[in-house]
Amino acid sequence: QAEARWAAVDQYLAGTLVGEDAVLAEGRQAAHEAGLPGIEVSAPQGKFLMLMARLVGARKVLEIGTLGGYSTTWLARGIPDDGEVITCEYEPHHAEVARANLARAGVGGKVSVRVGAALETLPRLEAEEAGPFDLVFIDADKANNRNYVEWALKLARPGTVIIVDNVVRGGAVLRTDLPAGDPEAEAIAGTRGALELLGSDRRLDATAVQTVGAKGWDGFAFAVVK
Ligand code: SAM
């Protein structure tokens, strides 16, 4: 019942503040019709990412976890026309759907979708000197969250903002009762590893904010590179 109220308030906030346009809604729908899971950020969260990119004055954004390009579209809207979003996606089918959605949204020209395991793509980005990135959004396989924060740091500069999604997991971040090998236990281990790194690395200043809404009870971690 609480969840239904959170979702209703999210809908109200989306209608009052966010103004998700038809192109974004169509992209979300196209992704669902193509069989992609509905695990993209909510409209208020997407707009929040766009505003973060603006606040940072980002020109180069790195996203890990593209899905159908919903958050990617918001991020691309937050950077200037000569800026770039590089987004990493493991599943070729997701990447294909994302490319079509990004083109439909008119941001295809400033987004590069890199297909493959992000832990293989990230060293390539380093070799290509694709960074430093001004904003990094981490939202892929949660078991690798700590590794992704380490890579974000390698590809950062002082002032870079790092955002990690889904760090609360309906409170499951505190669970210690799951058997090793359980996918959620691995997601929790990766997420706690990321949070502990964000909290302890001297190069970072970090916090996390819990959220409720259409996506249940969860939260984002935020860090700025000193
Ligand atoms: N950021 C997207 C949004 O809000 O619109 C949602 C991303 S979804 C939660 C996670 C995505 O990460 C999925 O598309 C999944 O295929 C991708 N993924 C999973 N493992 C990955 C890996 N090792 N490297 C890159 N992407 C991966």
- Do 206 and 199 form a contact (C-beta atoms < 8 A)? yes
Share of the chain above pLDDT 70, in %: 100
pLDDT confidence bin for 200, thresholds 50/70/90: very high
Tally: H helices and E strands in the chain: 8, 7
Average pLDDT score over the chain:
97
Where residue 33 falls among pLDDT bands split at 50, 70, 90? very high
CA of 115 to the centre of ligand 1 (A): 11
Distance 38 CA to ligand 1 centre (A): 11
State in Å: Cα 63 to ligand 1 middle.
Answer: 9
DSSP characters for 176-217? --SPTT-HHHHHHHHHHHHHHHHHH-TTEEEEEEEEEETTEE
Instruction: Check residue 56 and give its pLDDT.
Output: 97
| pLDDT at residue 175, as a whole number | 95
Tell me, in angstroms, the distance from the centre of ligand 1 to residue 54's CA.
Answer: 23
The per-residue pLDDT for range 93-129, each reduced to its tens digit, is: 999 999 999 999 999 999 999 999 999 999 999 999 9
pLDDT tier for residue 57 given thresholds of 50, 70 and 90: very high
CA–centroid distance, residue 46 to ligand 1 (Å): 15
**pLDDT band, residue 155 (cuts 50/70/90):** very high
Give the CATH number of the domain where residue 167 resides.
Answer: 3.40.50.150
Domains held by the chain: number: 1
Which ligand 1 atom sits nearest the alpha carbon of residue 65?
A: 12
Between CA 36 and CA 34 the distance in angstroms is 6
Backbone angles phi, psi at 65, to 5 degrees: 105, 95
Would you place residue 39 in the very low, low, confident or very high pLDDT band (cuts 50, 70, 90)? Answer: very high
Instruction: For residue 138, give its domain range.
Output: 2-225
Note the ipTM here.
0.99
The torsion region of residue 107 among left (phi > 0), alpha (psi -120 to 50) and beta comes to alpha
In the chain, what percentage of residues exceed pLDDT 90? 98
| 85, 139, 147: residue to mutate for ligand 1 pocket, most atoms within 8 A of CB | 139
Question: Which of 36, 77, 91 has most ligand 1 atoms within 8 Å of its beta carbon, as the pocket-test mutant?
Answer: 91
**What pLDDT sits at residue 106?**
97
